[in-house]
A and B are shown apart, each in its own frame.
Chain A
């Protein structure tokens, strides 16, 4: 995971509250087997509308999303964070985030910065007056700068530390690899192993075939 201490990029004002994860990425995209390439899926339901903010040239290259309150509610899909990151967003600013979304973001290097709603409004005003204005998110100082607006934001210390160190969950755990190895050495012999595989003798499995239906039975 890339280290995050400060980021500057075009701010995108998303004047909507309660943007749930279905709106961030609709369920049809969940069938994919990859974890990258979701940029086209981001806000898919809105992207067809030429007026939609990301369809306007000035905001297209945005990397700081400035959203209304209650961002990321609904289903816990991690794809919501993937889609935002794949599009190029590094930070989302909002007055309130859904817990699971915030948790998923922190784990994957997307900063979910919590601001006061009136500060969000100030930033929206700047971004709408001068489209394409850059926003700087300073994680070390916990400040957001946008033109002449400088406001504080909140992020919990643990998440902040992880982002600044660039540690994903796995990286964090692997810092304790010696302890894992020591634990493994103490595991009892009876605990199961899947390999080498043991099983009953292989038997041929015969394929079932569709039932041919007649008369009253023909339901499907």
Chain B
């Protein structure tokens, strides 16, 4: 029978099919662990006297709490320090591989998997973190789980899972200059809403998606969760294989050939039926920014802050009113006129080498706006090393930005990188919820290019506003997707 990509991966992992409405039991190929959602899971194992079933399919890293300055000194915040110390103890006790602060492979869990070549097409990947959907960019079925599920996977390497629905999101055409995959996903979320993907695994397809680099694809899949989806996927192709080949854990020799043969079958059949379909035209896109307090409250940069009174739907109107009040925005203000205090470039959405390169291209030889603080936080220590090998750190420092160590940082402000109450940011991360980047902080989600232009002008801006040569969009020949291997 014809199947979708997601169904094919699912079917290949059924240990035991559920009967009478009971869930299927699925095998998990790769379990990523970090310090926030794992302590109670390990404690549960300890209380029940259970081991980790497959330490060799498990890997841990420190990311959510790690400081991005002074990483060689003790962590000041007690909670952060306890969580990290607990992870270290648990990893040692249960024999789990851990990349700690100061290790070259430490970084955001969703960067570490791909960069080590552990994330591959056709895998099931889980992590106690909702942005696990990132790994779907490789054609893996990847989703976030809760702490008790983390314990379940540690103990059994399986998960009982209820079936999902499938949604095809086709993005035709070519991205205009100055737009990126971040604009694609923000436009999709604005279109289908933050609950539009509920119960679905989204499959992104079409010409515009095929043209994207792996990094850019990860950005899209990363934010599937912001549309409420269970997961997001993109069928693997030459771009995927090229990214993987030669990475530390990529298959070699005959295994590589067998894998690629299989991976080529991982695409939705032409006559596969999706439960829902959405179509988007890439060439219509402009740089997108959010104005509100959920990722669905976004508009093209050329638009104005919405006027709630003009919103017909009562719930949406009330939500918009509340969001504008929190954001401190006047209805009708052109989005381009909104001044920001901080620009944050980083996170598992847009903290990769390609993102740093595109920012560097825009800011090279310029100086940031005086009133703006600019934080550049690579998604992993390797990405940082790579950027330094390419001289990007100098460009950022000359620009007036701060060049930090790797971690989640201001994406969620569990470490000292936070917004002050009322402070406004343009952020390349994925959530603009109230208080997400610090109590009372106001977040506008943007692409790396918009972040760079905003840092220069001090108000939300696109690179076109700089009146300079326009930077090539994602997937252009100028982006070297293999870059982060080069310093080896």
In the complex, what distance in Å separates the CA atom of A158 from the CA atom of B18? Answer: 13
Interface string of B157-173 (1 = CB under 8 A from A): 11010000000000000
B57 in the interface, Cβ–Cβ < 8 Å?
yes
Interface residues in B450-474 (C-beta closer than 8 Å to A): none
Are A205's CB and B488's CB within 8 A? Answer: no
Interface window among B224-232, B266-274, B319-327, B399-407 = B399-407
**A203 touching B40 in the complex, CB below 8 Å, given contacts A33-B83, A173-B152, A195-B55:** no
Are B105's CB and A199's CB within 8 A? Answer: yes
Are B157's CB and A169's CB within 8 A? Answer: no
Interface window among B3-11, B112-120, B190-198, B305-313 = B112-120
Across the interface, A78 reaches (CB within 8 A) one of B148, B371, B384, namely B148
Are A76's CB and B55's CB within 8 A? Answer: no
Across the interface, A190 reaches (CB within 8 A) one of B73, B251, B420, namely B251
Across the interface, B104 reaches (CB within 8 A) one of A179, A188, A205, namely A205
Interface residues in A89-125 (C-beta closer than 8 Å to B): 104, 107-108
Are A195's CB and B370's CB within 8 A? Answer: no
Interface residues in B345-395 (C-beta closer than 8 Å to A): 370-373, 381-382, 384-385
Interface window among B179-187, B252-260, B287-295 = B252-260
Task: Name the distance in Å between B230's Cβ and chain A's nearest Cβ.
Answer: 14
A148 CB contacts on chain B under 8 angstroms: none
A107 CB contacts on chain B under 8 angstroms: 148
Are A194's CB and B259's CB within 8 A? Answer: no
B22 CB contacts on chain A under 8 angstroms: 158
In the complex, what distance in Å separates the CA atom of A180 from the CA atom of B382? Answer: 36
Are A170's CB and B156's CB within 8 A? Answer: yes
Across the interface, A207 reaches (CB within 8 A) one of B72, B248, B251, namely B72
**A169 touching B104 in the complex, CB below 8 Å, given contacts A192-B120, A216-B370:** no
Interface string of B394-430 (1 = CB under 8 A from A): 0000001011110000000000000010000000000
A219 CB contacts on chain B under 8 angstroms: 341, 371-373
Are A180's CB and B69's CB within 8 A? Answer: no
In the complex, what distance in Å separates the CA atom of A217 from the CA atom of B47? Answer: 52
B56 in the interface, Cβ–Cβ < 8 Å?
yes
A184 CB contacts on chain B under 8 angstroms: 27, 157
In the complex, what distance in Å separates the CA atom of A177 from the CA atom of B25? Answer: 11
B487 in the interface, Cβ–Cβ < 8 Å?
yes
Across the interface, B146 reaches (CB within 8 A) one of A78, A179, A189, A201, namely A78
Q: Is the interface of B mostly helix, strand, loop or mixed?
A: mixed
A141 CB contacts on chain B under 8 angstroms: none
Across the interface, B27 reaches (CB within 8 A) one of A169, A180, A192, namely A180
* Residue from A107, A172, A197 whose CB has the most chain B CB atoms within 10 Å: A197
Are A200's CB and B104's CB within 8 A? Answer: yes
B71 in the interface, Cβ–Cβ < 8 Å?
yes
Interface string of B121-164 (1 = CB under 8 A from A): 00100000000000000000000001110011001111010000
Across the interface, B29 reaches (CB within 8 A) one of A173, A191, A201, A205, namely A191
Task: Name the distance in Å between B426's Cβ and chain A's nearest Cβ.
Answer: 15
In the complex, what distance in Å separates the CA atom of A34 from the CA atom of B44? Answer: 9
**A199 touching B29 in the complex, CB below 8 Å, given contacts A35-B40, A190-B256:** no
New A-B contacts (11) at CB < 8 Å, excluding given A35-B40, A205-B103: A31-B83, A158-B22, A170-B156, A173-B25, A179-B25, A190-B120, A190-B251, A191-B120, A192-B29, A203-B104, A205-B104
Which residues of A are in contact with B by a Cβ distance under 8 Å? Answer: 31, 33-36, 76, 78, 104, 107-108, 158, 169-170, 172-174, 176-177, 179-180, 183-184, 187-195, 197-203, 205, 207-211, 216-217, 219-220
A-B pairs with beta carbons under 8 Å apart, 30 shown: A33-B43, A33-B83, A34-B40, A76-B146, A104-B148, A158-B22, A169-B160, A172-B160, A173-B156, A176-B25, A180-B15, A180-B27, A189-B251, A190-B251, A190-B258, A190-B259, A190-B262, A192-B29, A192-B57, A193-B56, A194-B57, A194-B58, A194-B59, A195-B55, A195-B56, A200-B105, A208-B69, A210-B69, A219-B372, A219-B373
In order of increasing CB-CB distance, the 10 nearest A-B pairs are A33-B39, A190-B259, A190-B251, A35-B40, A198-B248, A195-B56, A194-B59, A190-B255, A207-B72, A193-B56
